[in-house]
A and B are shown apart, each in its own frame.
Chain A
């Protein structure tokens, strides 16, 4: 039982009565739920046992947040600090079309939208988010509305010892289309706990592109979820680019509940120094003729660690499922470590599923090829690593974010001492 994250504390947060009641109920459930440990399959390899929850308290500083870097003018900009919506700028044209972007608590549909995906999914930290979310953000795209430029959200956390519980709910109406870039940052040196929950709910024939860019500070612990549901013939393209944090776990669930729904799920990650980047994915095929394609590619350098555990689940009714899961990891040093555990659970015979995973160093043949064209060893490795991640970058939703992500990768690569030119091994 936590003295800080108690039902009483949850009940003291601001908001309409329905939201307060919801928080208190969640806090009560949280209080009655034992903290999972690594003996549970879902938390195997995680660092949940190292988290000192009582070292944190809900953050109370609400300043400004950094801007996302994009190559196009966004259709709307929202900045949130410690889970509170601080700034919104929405083009009038969107408002005229009935698009709603802003604090969910102020929206007439807010109560119905909140939890529409997370309430049947979620884990221990989703529950904690439910109890202590400050001001959830709603992006609601009405039926048939197509927005051709991205909506850009920043979720920033600040304050030493602060815990932030950002909540984003994206609802894409029938046959509507939107792309959302969601930048997660935190103060560089502050000791911070960040438990963001993102709900993506796409109605029939809707299309959603969602890109989460995680650039948290080196002293931040993250237990986050991106929980998606796609209805009939809907398409979700969801990507994560994870660069920051001390320990950063992202759980990504995609439930394909309507016939013909499709999910493109991807991630790039780059851990260095003492970072641990942890990913848990579920591809849940509930309805017939659903397809999902997952590609997670990551790099570990220094003493960094990465964990990928993924499950494709095909329910009894989901005949005609096509589901693929690929996780590839490059290890740039002997002290780096990557774990990759793909899994299938199939309850229907009429399906096509596969999974693949690899962990290894930079390919010697590829390095030799570049070197034989006069590319110095360290430079060859940097090109290969950037190209390895570039395969995913070429497919991400919100392509206008790709140049900034390439730059972030280049900056990481420039810091790697392991990539200096190697000595010759030939004995002459």
Chain B
């Protein structure tokens, strides 16, 4: 039983504070949802935890149990048990998935073990074997990229996974397979999950234990699974950081709104 502990985390981009004091504890096997409006800093939270370049940590701590992660390079955070499924997985031309997994400190040194694990994981999520030989994320559709992220989660077996908008760009079948796989990892391997999303559809298969509303760089409210449904109904207006400009109220939020109304 482990814990991912985020304490008083503040971070800035280009001198502007985006994370304004985040406190959160995720235990093994738990699923925490982070939901919030666009621009609230949800993705920044995931990037800062993993150590993406371009962010300045102002204060706070991110630990797995008593191991501080913020002073480690990204690959050592992965070694400590952290995984990030990216919203927009990066294309890495010429580098095959298997070569990357073989070079990871999180996998066995046995080449054939990795191949077998990849095959099994691909089958579990309906990911075509032909994609396994492709350079990372090159010429993959949005849905294929997310399946690829999920496959890696299955092979790398992290203690904690941050899913950054894993549901975006997925069709219904893919969403079901991918979220089902993560759900199974929580029960089979005790994976702790921090699922960042705008919508609640990810949670049809993956049951959240706690839902956090994230706005203006911090957690504003926490509740049970029903909070996700509530947010789907009512949106995030209660936590909007600035009032919508007068005259166009509501229009900017709904791209399908009738512009003549």
Chain A positions near chain B (C-beta within 8 angstroms): 364-366, 368-377, 379-380, 383-384, 386-391, 394, 421-422, 424-428
| CB-contact partner of A377 in B75, B95, B100, under 8 A | B75
Complex Cα–Cα for A383 and B136 (A): 11
| CB-contact partner of B105 in A369, A372, A374, under 8 A | A374
Q: Residues of A contacting B86 with CB < 8 Å?
A: 369, 372
Known contacts A368-B52, A371-B78, A372-B84; A424/B73 CB under 8 A: yes
Complex Cα–Cα for A388 and B138 (A): 13
Q: Residues of B contacting A389 with CB < 8 Å?
A: 94
Interface residues on B, range: 35 or more
Is B79 a contact partner of A374 (Cβ separation < 8 A)?
Answer: yes
Complex Cα–Cα for A377 and B135 (A): 19
Is A373 a contact partner of B78 (Cβ separation < 8 A)?
Answer: yes
Is B90 a contact partner of A366 (Cβ separation < 8 A)?
Answer: yes
Is B90 a contact partner of A374 (Cβ separation < 8 A)?
Answer: no
Q: Residues of B contacting A390 with CB < 8 Å?
A: 94-95
Is B78 a contact partner of A383 (Cβ separation < 8 A)?
Answer: no
Known contacts A369-B136, A375-B100, A375-B103; A387/B75 CB under 8 A: no
Complex Cα–Cα for A376 and B75 (A): 5
Nearest residue in A to B155 (C-beta to C-beta)?
Answer: A373
| CB-contact partner of B104 in A368, A373, A422, A427, under 8 A | A373
Complex Cα–Cα for A169 and B250 (A): 74
B57 within 8 A of A: yes
Which of A364, A372, A426 counts the most B-chain CB atoms under 10 A from its CB?
A372
Is B90 a contact partner of A373 (Cβ separation < 8 A)?
Answer: no
| CB-contact partner of B75 in A365, A375, A425, under 8 A | A375
| CB-contact partner of B106 in A373, A386, A391, under 8 A | A373
Q: Residues of B contacting A426 with CB < 8 Å?
A: 51, 55-57, 70-71
Complex Cα–Cα for A388 and B91 (A): 12
Q: Residues of A contacting B100 with CB < 8 Å?
A: 370, 373, 375, 383
B159 within 8 A of A: no
Q: Residues of A contacting B156 with CB < 8 Å?
A: 373-374
Q: Residues of B contacting A427 with CB < 8 Å?
A: 56-57
Is B73 a contact partner of A371 (Cβ separation < 8 A)?
Answer: yes
| CB-contact partner of B74 in A371, A379, A387, A394, under 8 A | A371
Complex Cα–Cα for A383 and B95 (A): 6
The 8 closest A-B pairs by CB, nearest first: A387-B94, A374-B78, A390-B94, A374-B104, A387-B95, A374-B106, A371-B74, A369-B90
B72 within 8 A of A: yes
Is B152 a contact partner of A388 (Cβ separation < 8 A)?
Answer: no
Is A370 a contact partner of B94 (Cβ separation < 8 A)?
Answer: no
Complex Cα–Cα for A390 and B138 (A): 14
Q: Residues of B contacting A428 with CB < 8 Å?
A: 57, 70-71
| CB-contact partner of B94 in A379, A391, A424, A425, under 8 A | A391
Q: Residues of A contacting B84 with CB < 8 Å?
A: 372
Q: Residues of B contacting A387 with CB < 8 Å?
A: 92-95, 135
Q: Residues of A contacting B106 with CB < 8 Å?
A: 373-374
Nearest residue in A to B158 (C-beta to C-beta)?
Answer: A374
Complex Cα–Cα for A374 and B107 (A): 9
Which of B51, B83, B92, B152 counts the most A-chain CB atoms under 10 A from its CB?
B92
Q: Residues of A contacting B93 with CB < 8 Å?
A: 387-388, 391
User: Closest Cβ of chain B: how far from A141's Cβ, in Å?
Assistant: 33
The B31-78 residues at the A interface (CB cut-off 8 A) are: 50-53, 55-57, 70-75, 77-78
B99 within 8 A of A: yes
Complex Cα–Cα for A422 and B75 (A): 11
**What are 13 A-B residue pairs whose CB atoms fall within 8 Å in the complex?**
A368-B51, A369-B136, A370-B92, A372-B50, A373-B104, A375-B75, A375-B104, A376-B103, A384-B92, A387-B93, A388-B94, A390-B94, A426-B70
Q: Binary interface profile of B, 103-119, with partner A (CB < 8 Å = 1, else 0)?
A: 11111000000000000
| CB-contact partner of B90 in A368, A383, A424, under 8 A | A368
Nearest residue in A to B55 (C-beta to C-beta)?
Answer: A426
Q: Residues of A contacting B51 with CB < 8 Å?
A: 368, 371-372, 424, 426
User: Closest Cβ of chain B: how far from A409's Cβ, in Å?
Assistant: 11
Complex Cα–Cα for A415 and B207 (A): 50
Q: Residues of B contacting A384 with CB < 8 Å?
A: 92, 94-95
